[in-house]
A = this chain, B = another copy of it.
Amino acid sequence: MILGGVEAGGTKFVCAAGTGPEDLIRESIPTTTPAETLGRAVRFFERHKVAMLGIASFGPLDLDPQSPAFGFIAATPKPGWNHVDLRGHFHRALGVPVSIDTDVNAAALAEHRWGAAKGLDNLLYLTVGTGIGGGALIAGEPLHGLAHPEMGHIRVPHDRTADPFPGCCPYHADCLEGLASGPAMERRWGVRAEALPRHHPGWALESRYLALGLANLVCTLSPRRIVMGGGVMHNLDIFPMIRHELNGLLGGYATAPEIVPPALGDDTGVLGALILAQRISA
* Partner-B contacts on A (CB < 8 A): 60, 122, 134, 138-139, 141, 143-158, 171-172, 174, 212, 215-217, 219-224, 249-255, 257
Contact = CB atoms under 8 A, between A and B. Distances in A.
Contacts of A150: 219, 222, 253-254
A220 B223 contact: no
Contact of A255 (B147, B172, B174): B147
A153 B253 contact: yes
A205 to B, nearest CB: 16
Contact of A157 (B139, B152, B157, B222): B157
Given A138-B138, A157-B157, A254 B223 contact: no
Given A146-B122, A172-B249, A153 B254 contact: yes
B220 A252 contact: no
Contacts of A153: 219, 250, 253-254
Contact of A257 (B146, B157, B219, B220): B146
A62 B221 CA distance: 16
Given A138-B139, A144-B122, A220 B222 contact: no
Given A138-B138, A153-B250, A217-B220, 15 more contacts: A60-B253, A134-B220, A139-B139, A146-B222, A146-B224, A149-B222, A151-B220, A153-B219, A156-B156, A156-B157, A172-B249, A172-B253, A216-B216, A220-B220, A220-B221
Most buried by B among A158, A219, A255: A219
A222 B215 CA distance: 18
